Amino acid sequence: MSAAYYIFAFNINNSRFIMYRMIYADSRGCFYDHPGLLALGRTGDMFVEPEDGDMEELPEGATLVMIPGGHPAGMDRKGKFVLMERDRSGDPVFAVGALLPQGYTRTLLPAYRRKGSDKPLPLFGYAAVAWRRGKPYVAALRTDDPYRWNPRHYNTARLPELIREKQKEHPENRILKQLAHCSLEYGCFTAQNIFYRRWEGGVPVSPTCNARCIGCISLQPSQCCPSPQSRITFSPTPGEVADIAVPHLSGTRDAIISFGQGCEGEPSLARETVVAAIQRVRREVSAGTINMNTNAGYTEGIREACRAGLDSIRVSIISGRQEVYNAYYRPGGYVLDDVFNSIAAARSAGVLVSLNLLLFPGLTDREEEMDALETIIRKYNINMVQLRNLNIDPDMLTGLMPPAKGEIMGVPELIKRFGQIPGLKVGNFTHPASRTD
């Protein structure tokens, strides 16, 4: 895969810049901080200087990883760009990035080049890293309370027994079988929460989708990167949904049930099941939040679910501009205006609406993108923006996007700007909600 890179805005006399040193890895997976090369980050197709406002100490739950086939790019103290392919002994070296825990938003991508590889990177959200004052730093900002999504609360020793006990209650429930698989094989947190009976629990309902997102984690074309998980192959019944949702929502006051998981397609396409399930659940329990994660392209399905008693929807979006939206989602049978119509229908029904903003440094934080998103937020009185680090190969994404025009303002500026919109909450997670009608 080929890509163009540009060096941008360096000031080697800036002491903040000098303190961030490049981290790299050898072929054995050992990490090192380079004594003579300064760290770079990437935004869009430019290598840039990491500044203090972009960086935080590597948080608990973050993981340092090698970039497959990527050679690290750095800057020497004279301001010269250096691509490091081998160490002094002649052994190959590789770029390093960080995989962030929930609650942190990436500000810069890792700076690297991949040579002679047409195979996209795995679907991870790599963030730039650097070394400073004896500690690793990452290009990220904390933007929500990560407590409930801290890995320490998941994959516990008692999880297998909880799964067995739950399945004994409903041995024929196909959703439970899927959630057990997702919990143990993929380590899915929302699946595990069903068995822990707490917080946000996922309930997949739809085996089909009306979009072909290039970053889809459950279904990818054969020529692209492999999907990290498989999609459900069945259509559950309302009873199967209720068997899971009723006890979960009865367990705690702030419990959430969410349709639209990584192991399924578009939940609004299963509108008959969803509507009947919501009605059945609400006849038995009034507590908790029923949420749908959706692309919102099927307006009638969204409208009917809202009428049935849906409390909130989280609408996946990468851009408020049609050409950028289409390049990523590749929708089938709907356009961006249908998404806006679904949002309007939900707000009219008193349903809380969050934008699940697929954030990519160098795209989302461009001036024209920020303007378009703010227009949508204000026009439809959006309740929350959930910042989602887009898991995708940066070279693949930038190669598919239409030419960018506006200035890159930076992810911190985007967060600041959204935070100034009255009534808008900015974070990362779906929070408990009540309808506003």
CATH number reported for the structural domain that contains residue 352 in this entry: 3.20.20.70
Q: Is residue 436 part of a domain?
A: no
End-to-end CA separation in angstroms for the chain: 51
160 and 307 both lie in a single domain: yes
Beta carbons of 322 and 336 less than 8 angstroms apart: yes
395 and 293 both lie in a single domain: yes
Q: How far apart are CA 106 and CA 142, in angstroms?
A: 9
133 and 151 both lie in a single domain: no
16 and 109 both lie in a single domain: yes
Q: Is residue 86 part of a domain?
A: yes
Instruction: Among 142, 169, 190, identify where a domain stops.
Output: 142
135 and 155 both lie in a single domain: no
231 and 122 both lie in a single domain: no
- The tokens of 42 are what? 């990437």
109 and 214 both lie in a single domain: no
Q: Is residue 156 part of a domain?
A: yes
Q: Is residue 381 part of a domain?
A: yes
Instruction: Among 87, 119, 142, identify where a domain stops.
Output: 142
- The tokens of 151 are what? 């890995």
Q: How far apart are CA 41 and CA 108, in angstroms?
A: 6
Q: Is residue 433 part of a domain?
A: no
83 and 159 both lie in a single domain: no
160 and 174 both lie in a single domain: yes
115 and 156 both lie in a single domain: no
Enclosing domain of residue 108:
6-142
304 and 207 both lie in a single domain: yes
Instruction: Among 142, 167, 189, identify where a domain stops.
Output: 142
Q: Is residue 305 part of a domain?
A: yes
- Its pTM stands at 0.92
Q: Is residue 129 part of a domain?
A: yes
Phi, psi at residue 364, to the nearest 5°?
Answer: -60, -30
The beta-strand segments (E) located in 269-334 are 289-294, 312-317
What is the full per-residue pLDDT of the chain (437 aa) written as tens digits?
A: 334 444 444 443 344 444 799 999 999 999 999 999 999 999 999 999 899 999 999 999 899 999 999 999 999 988 899 999 999 889 999 999 999 999 999 999 999 999 866 688 988 999 999 999 999 999 999 999 999 999 899 999 999 999 999 999 999 999 999 999 999 999 999 999 999 999 999 999 999 999 999 878 665 554 455 555 678 899 999 999 999 999 999 987 799 999 999 889 999 999 999 999 999 999 999 999 999 999 999 999 999 999 999 999 999 999 999 999 999 999 999 999 999 999 999 999 999 999 999 999 999 999 999 999 999 999 999 999 999 999 999 999 999 999 888 899 999 999 999 999 999 999 999 999 865 54
Q: Is residue 367 part of a domain?
A: yes
Relative orientation angle of helices 189-196 and 159-169, to the nearest 10 degrees? 70
Q: How far apart are CA 289 and CA 193, in angstroms?
A: 14
265 and 384 both lie in a single domain: yes
Total structural domains within the chain = 2
